[in-house]
Every structure is written in C-alpha cells, then in structure tokens.
C-alpha cells in the first residue's frame, strides 16, 4: 500500500482529493471544521517536502454552478487551519485552472472550485478526470468519505498518474478498519444500532465470521424481538424482515457468535421528549407504547460484554439520542466503550449516528479511532472493494 510517506514531493505538484464537504451557516461560514483538520497533516507533509498542493473537493449536491455551493466560502477557514494562505480559482478544469496550477510555486496551496459543478464528476467521466489530472504530477487520495464512489476525482483519475498514493487520513482509515476486520485482537465485539435491519443486513452477514460477540441495539432490535414472539407495542419493526432476523440468529449460533439483544427498554407513549415515559421488558411492551432507548439492565449487560473485549467496532446508536430522555442508552454505550479502551481495547467508531453521538457526548477523544466516512466504512464492513481505494492499489 503506497502512502504519502513513500514519496518526496520536492518540486512536485500534488493533486490532492480531500473531503471538504463541510457544513456552512446562512452567512456561508464553516460551522464544523473537522474534515479540514483531518486533511491538515497530509497537506503539511507535502509543503514541508517543498512541494505544492492543489486541492480538489466537492461541496453539497449542486445542480450546475450554484453560488451557495462555491468552495470560495471555505478559503478563510482552510487558510486559518493550515497556517498558509490558500489561493482559490473559480474553476476546476480549463484555462483558468491550468493557469493557476502552472503559476503555483513550491510550498503554496491552491483550492479548485467545486468538482460537482460539473455533472461529469459524479458520472465518472474519463475526459473530465483526464482534464483534472493535467493540473498536477502526483495524485494523492485523502478523501475516505467519498472512497466508495466511482467518481472522476476519486477513482477514474488515478489511471493518468504514474505516481499516486494514499494521504495520511485514508491510510489511518484503512489501517483502522483492517485492524478490526483482518487482524483483530480477540475477543472482538461489534455494536450495531440504528433504525433498520434492512440497512445493516450485509454488514451483519459479513462480520458474523469475524466477531465473537454482536450487540444489536437501536430500532433494529425490535424486529429481532418480535420475530421471537415478543410483544413490542408500537415500536419500530420491519415485519418483512422477521424471517431474516431468525436466520441471522441461527447463523450466529452455527458460527459460535454470541448475539446480545436488549432485555429492557425505555418506552414512551409518543415520539417526543415531552411524552410520558416508562420502563418495560423488551418483549412485553404494551400497545400504544414504543421503545425508544435501551433500559438499565441492557446497559449493564452490554457493559459486561464490552469490558471483556480487546477489539470493538461501534456503528449506530442505541436509541433516539437526539431526544434527551432517550439519550442515556447511547451515552452508557459510550462510557462502556471508553472504559474498555482505557483498559487496553482498540475501539473504532463509524457511521453517521454513532460518530455524531461520540462527538456530542464528548467520547471522541476516549476511543481509538473515529471514522470520517459513514457510507465508505459501511461498504468496507460489507466486504466490498471501494473504488477510491482500488484505484490507488492498481
């Protein structure tokens, strides 16, 4: 695996695919700079080698050239974080972009305009990828968040470079996932949460061979409970997936993988933080009530399992953590994962909800690694080869 450390960038122009798809407020100010910070050490390495950096990214889902999606809005934040004045050009291909790239001196940084102002980017158009490739002489992919897309700038472009490599962020993502999926210290515990079994089926099927214990939480747990004859009231359930849930339980048994389902729930008579709240056994929720979080007994049992782990994978929340009364199960999982990490386990957190939760509740510096790419990480967990990774490995 060729990484950025394998190349000396002196007098080279590095075309770096970053993921600067950051949130902006109504004044077009960046409200979360995590993704810019994540790319910093890759950019600094190239500059310290006395190379120059040409950054390309997308922002949002524009339909053509839309002012509100211009990457010029993030120049100030990027300049501040990198400590280097970031130059900007109002196109990503064509004369203006070529001129700006040609004029770039060693130790300078240029940011191209939003790649998705061209529909050719998401179409994976080869001519567009070739036009981008003419701006630099080394290609660096450091955008894990888009590695599962076969877009022009993430996968197609690599064929036009003799020198190509992964940036520091991509390297950390790949190594962290490999540490969980390929070379883990055992026992391995996976926590899968979220609303639906259907969105995690392929993940479950792929990791059953690799984990010793699988904790199933969140809305998807109720499908498993109902499939086994439990009464779940008005809780979320995919009735058409109950048979599949039973198959997963059988498959786990045949592979000696322990599946841990919640035993109790925090219930509510409405989907609201102002609802009447109660506790119930997970398989005895009355009609008119819904389970919106895991209860105290479940939290305690999951804690015991997690404290025995040497490797932990966490994807998905335990309940509706956005509503305060139903956040405590997810917070409890966070505390357990943090405690196990402090005791020596390697913990990887990934996927939108769980990443949002660890950040919101302050666990992000108490786990081993927080993945930056929800969709990309899920596809790796499903056992898929990501186009953005395959393009560098070819």
Could you give the residue numbers annotated as active site? 35, 196, 352, 375
Inter-CA distances, 353 with 72, 172, 314, Å = 29, 21, 10
Spatial contact of 147 and 387, defined as CB atoms under 8 Å apart: yes
3-state DSSP of 318-369: CCCCCCHHHCHHHHHHHHHHHHHHHCCCEEEECCHHHHHHHHHCCCCCCCCE
Distance CA 39, CA 24 (A): 18
Distance CA 127, CA 183 (A): 40
- Sign of CA pseudo-dihedral 314, 193, 35, 9: positive
Enumerate residues 6+ apart whose C-beta is below 8 A from 386: 147, 148, 376, 379, 380
234 phi and psi angles, rounded to 5 deg:
-100, 20
The H or E element spanning position 304 is: helix 296-307
Tokens of 30: 């960046």
Q: Which residue from 16, 5, 8 is spatially nearest to 388, judged by alpha carbons?
A: 16
């Amino acid at each position: 695996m060729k990484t950025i450390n394998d190349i000396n960038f002196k007098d080279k122009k590095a075309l770096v695919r970053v993921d600067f798809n950051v949130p902006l407020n109504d004044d077009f100010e960046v409200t979360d700079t995590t993704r810019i910070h994540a790319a910093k050490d890759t950019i600094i390495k190239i500059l310290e080698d006395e190379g120059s950096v040409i950054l390309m990214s997308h922002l949002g889902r524009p339909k053509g050239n839309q002012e509100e999606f211009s990457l010029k809005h993030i120049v100030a934040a990027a300049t501040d974080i990198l400590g280097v004045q970031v130059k900007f050009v109002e196109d990503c291909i064509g004369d203006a972009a070529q001129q700006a790239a040609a004029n770039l001196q060693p130790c300078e940084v240029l940011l191209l305009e939003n790649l998705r102002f061209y529909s050719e980017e998401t179409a994976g158009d080869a001519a567009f990828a070739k036009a981008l490739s003419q701006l630099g002489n080394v290609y660096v992919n450091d955008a894990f968040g888009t590695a599962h897309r076969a877009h022009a700038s993430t996968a197609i472009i690599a064929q036009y470079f003799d020198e190509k490599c992964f940036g520091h962020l991509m390297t950390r993502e790949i190594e962290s996932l490999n540490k969980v999926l390929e070379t883990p210290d055992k026992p391995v515990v996976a926590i899968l949460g979220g609303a639906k079994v259907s969105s995690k089926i392929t993940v479950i099927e792929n990791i059953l061979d690799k984990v010793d214990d699988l904790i199933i939480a969140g809305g998807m747990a109720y499908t498993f409970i109902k499939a086994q004859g439990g009464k779940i009231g008005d809780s979320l359930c995919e009735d058409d997936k109950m048979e599949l849930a039973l198959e997963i339980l059988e498959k786990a048994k045949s592979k000696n993988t322990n599946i841990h389902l919640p035993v109790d729930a925090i219930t509510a008579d409405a989907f609201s933080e102002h609802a009447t709240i109660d506790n119930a056994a997970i398989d005895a929720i009355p009609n008119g009530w819904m389970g919106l979080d895991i209860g105290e007994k479940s939290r305690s049992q999951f804690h015991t399992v997690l404290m025995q782990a040497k490797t932990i994978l966490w994807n998905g929340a335990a309940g509706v953590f956005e509503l305060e009364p139903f956040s405590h199960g997810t917070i409890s999982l966070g505390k357990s994962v943090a405690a196990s990490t402090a005791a020596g386990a390697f913990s990887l957190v990934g996927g939108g909800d769980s990443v949002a939760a660890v950040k919101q509740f302050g666990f992000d510096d108490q786990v081993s690694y927080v993945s930056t790419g929800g969709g990309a990480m899920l596809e790796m967990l499903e056992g898929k080869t990501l186009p953005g990774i395959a393009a560098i490995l070819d």
